[in-house]
Structure 1
Amino acid sequence: MAAEIITKEDLIEFRIKLLSDIEALLSGRSGQQEPRKLLKSYQVKNLLKISPGTLQNLRENGTLPFTKIGGIIYYKYEDIMKIFDGKGK
């Protein structure tokens, strides 16, 4: 295995890159980064602050469209936001 020499300039470059990556992640939390397209049931329950039974009722009565893939239920983020906006009105 060949040894690789790391210089002070390499470390400075790494530090700058790392800081810019951290800044990008933190700014994404302020709403600039697009949220995930599909959410799982537990994420929807946490987002809407509802019980598992309420989530099931929303599915059964057609209020919240969903997709089931391999036994896991997924919800589109935009559909959830429509419900969220509807509750506020």
Structure 2
Amino acid sequence: MEDAVTKDDLRQFGMLLMNDIQKLLEKITCENQGMHPEWLKSKAVRKLMDMSAGSLQNLRITGKVRYKKILGSYYYNKSDLQALFNE
């Protein structure tokens, strides 16, 4: 007797698949940028700029930095961040 595939099984598979795709996209981005990506993930920006998630969200909402949302993760333009904090 074979086990039936449940909705939870499919949901879990989908989450694993999306995670694998996201890792591949990040790897490709880093390779294309020579390990110095022009777009930084939220966690990297918060660590680099020593800021809270809320402060970073405010920069995004007010349009002070460009961002991209890819598979649920935000990426911020490195040159925009540098220009903002050089002022």
Q: Which residue is 2:74 aligned to?
A: 73
2:53 alignment partner AA: P
CA distance in 1, matches of 2:84, 2:47: 14
Identity %: 37
Aligned residues between the structures: 54
RMSD: 1.7
1:73 alignment partner AA: Y
Q: Which residue is 2:41 aligned to?
A: 40
How far residue 82 of structure 1 moved from its aligned partner, in angstroms, is 0.9
Instruction: Give 5+ residue unaligned stretches, structure 1.
Output: 1-32
Instruction: Give 5+ residue unaligned stretches, structure 2.
Output: 1-33
CA distance in 2, matches of 1:37, 1:52: 20
TM-score where L is the length of structure 2: 0.55
Map 1:20-59 → 2, pairs under 5 A: 35-59=36-60
**Secondary structure, aligned partner of 1:82:** helix
Which structure is larger by alpha-carbon Rg, 1 or 2?
Answer: 1
How far residue 39 of structure 1 moved from its aligned partner, in angstroms, is 0.5
Stretches (4+) displaced over 4 A: none
Which digits, 9 at most, give the CA deviation of each residue in 1:39-81, with x for residues without a partner?
Answer: 1001011111111110011111111110111111111111111
1:75 alignment partner AA: Y
